[in-house]
Amino acid sequence: LRLTRLVLFSIVVVAISASAVFAQNSRTFVSGSGLDSNPCSLAAPCRTMTQALSVTNAGGEVVILSTAAYGPFTVNKAVTIEAPPGIYAGITATGGDGIDVNANANDVVTLRGFTVTNLDTSSTGIAFNSGGTLNIENCVVDGFTSSTGIGIYAPGDTLVKDTIVRNNGSGFLVNPLTTGTAVTITMDHVRLDGNTIGIFVVPGDGTAATVSAVNAVIRNSSISNNNIGVDVSPQVGVVSVGLERCLIANNIDGFALNTVSPASASVSISNCTISRNVREAFHIGLGTTIFSRGSNIFIGNGPDSSGSLTPFPAQ
Amino acid sequence: MNTLGSCIKALALFSTSSVLVIILGATAFGQAQRTFVAETGLDSNPCSLTAPCRTFTQAISQTNAGGEVVVLSSAGYGPFAINKALTVEAPEGVYAGITVNGGSGDGIDINAGPNDVVKLRGLTVNNVGSTGNGVVFNTAATVHIESCVVNGFTNGAGIKIPGSGIGALGSLLVKDTIARNNEWGILLGLTTGTLRVTMDHVRLDANSIGLAMNAQGTFEGAPVTATGVMRDSSVSGNTGTGISVTAGNGTAGICALDLESCLVTNNASGMNLQQNGGSATASISNTNITNNSTIGFSIGTGSAIFSLGDNTITGNGPDTGTLTQLAGQ
């Protein structure tokens, strides 16, 4: 009897400690040598992002401890997932997306320090499917050659900083598949180079979903060596794209702007270099405007530009 | 019975592990999407995370086209060549040195296919007494060089395109990279095709010549063309010319360079543009061309530097030629 009680007691203790350890944490860890049977602690890290996320509190962090590949994953709550400098955290998409953000409407999701690559699937590197705010910092998204590097598929706010998006079909795609009010985009020190299309803003394309506005601001960024640098072709909503101190160079076409009624689109440029775009600097199509502050340099572009810039004085 | 049972279990487990090991081994030694090198690695390993290789050459041979080679620990990894679409990357905090010791070889030779995209990231290429070059773009569609240092190729170029390997539309993108103490920081001598060069946050400092671009000849009925755009970069302290843009050389050729927010300072000569049968032009905006001791800029006959009117040009030796004003839009 005593033995039985002892055993029972041990079981209870084990059960309690296990549940304590495996409960939700504010900060969890993954490592190349981790195990998903671990509690995802600093001393006993997990192996996969999926397991770490499942034991992390909303509002918490998952931190990567060592260089390794971590596999595709989905984020369904407010969380920060971070590889510090010095650690390579590779995510290779092998059939689906690299990272899916499927969070709730007010959730803030931050991805920092990832390298997202592709085995040429028709998927997206980082897909914003739902959520409040998505921060993408210090990431590389590479090689989604027949699809999309970063895809914004829902209304919400996206901020991209210090990130390289190269060698994709669409580098950065805005095409919400769910109806909502506004998409906002803020980019700083981003390199959208060597894609088929650098930035592709096409709300309403192939979807009945509507969005009232897309407001994008891009600063200190390079959109170069693409087939099309900036393609703004909305079918719904009012699209506004502002570029400050950007390089739009060495593309085949610099800007390609078109709308389908009732959408409208405008691009404003200041202190930008728009040069060496082989075929044309810009195509200003139906329902679109390029506002120019007069401080941009246009040189060495191909002869086929259509439409004219609309002056927009500094204040 | 219990003991026997354990034995059988252990045996079964052992067999299973052996089979697993064999299968894993077979898989690992095939081509992998991502391979690893480390200072403690062995080239007899499968180049996996847990069993990394020692050299890039071995890791590249074990990597799928389109895959990645990742450096796990600080060390020297030796010169290598790339013959397919590939990323070779050392994360921040890891020093991956490529040293060329004597001889005439290069640090990294890119000999990829005409549709291949090659990416080098975080590598330090250093020369000790060779007559070769740091990174040589012989053939590929696009080469990205990011966060690299190329140093000491005093008889060659830090980054070089030797001439005839560029197709209808090649791209070179250099970002966050330092080329110093070379004969040429970047040397682009194009004799075929069209090349688009984008340089962002690059330092071509303390070489003999910072950047030299030349395009000459015809390709598929059109002039060979090299267009360069450089932004937020420094071309300073070079003992000869900071930037040289030349074209034609008695045939055809178009060579152009746009500078935005750059420093061209403390060189002997700042910018030199010359053409002979071709077109050599440059544009400058928000750029400082200062304290170049012999000459600020030299614009040869038939060449031009377009100025947006917002540059600082002062403290140079006497210039040759006149800037052409270009209105902002």
Please give, rounded to a whole number of angstroms, the shortest distance from the CA of A218 to a CA of chain B: 16
Predicted pLDDT of residue A211: 94
Chain A interface, best mutation among B144, B229, B245, B305, by max A CB count within 10 A: B229
Rg over alpha carbons for chain A, rounded to the nearest Å, is 23
Q: What is the pLDDT of residues A186-226, one digit of tens each?
A: 999 999 999 999 999 999 999 999 999 999 999 999 999 99
Chain A CB contacts of B93 under 8 Å are: 85-87
Q: How far is CA A17 from CA A12, A26, A28, B9, B13, in A?
A: 9, 18, 17, 30, 30
The pairing of strands B269-275 and B117-121 is: unpaired
ipTM: 0.89
- Identify the CA nearest to A128 among candidates A95, A157, A90: A157
| Residue B31 pLDDT | 86
Parallel, antiparallel or unpaired: strands B222-223 and B218-219: antiparallel
Q: How many CB pairs under 8 A join A and B?
A: 135
Q: How far, in Å, CA of A20 to CA of A301, rounded?
A: 64
For residue A245, list chain B residues with Cβ-Cβ distance below 8 A. Answer: 261
What's residue A23's pLDDT?
Answer: 58
Contacting residues of B for A292, CB less than 8 Å apart = 329
Residues 270-289 of chain B with CB under 8 A from chain A are: 281, 283, 285-286
Q: Is residue B308 less than 8 Å (CB to CB) from chain A?
A: yes
CA distance A98 to A72: 5
> B263-265 and A99-102: which strand pairing?
unpaired
Mean pLDDT throughout B23-27?
A: 38
With 0-12 / 13-18 / 19 or more C-beta atoms within 10 angstroms meaning exposed / middle / buried, residue B166 is buried
Residue among B49, B286, B329 minimizing CB distance to A292: B329
pLDDT at B15: 40
> Across the interface, do A294 and B328 touch by the CB < 8 Å criterion?
yes
Predicted TM-score of the model (pTM): 0.90
pLDDT band at B14 (very low <50, low <70, confident <90, very high): very low
| Beta-carbon separation of B198 and A249 below 8 A | yes
Q: Any CB–CB contact under 8 A between B68 and chain A?
A: yes
Q: By the CB < 8 Å criterion, does B28 face chain A?
A: no
**What's the gap in Å between the CA of B238 and the closest CA on chain A?**
26
Sign of CA dihedral A293, A294, A297, A300: positive
Tokens of A256: 């390609």
Which residue positions in chain A have pLDDT lower than 50?
1-3, 6-21
| Nearest CB to B34 within list A69, A294, A296 | A69
Q: Are B192 and B166 in contact (CB under 8 A)?
A: yes
Once rounded to an integer, what is the mean pLDDT over residues B312-327? 97
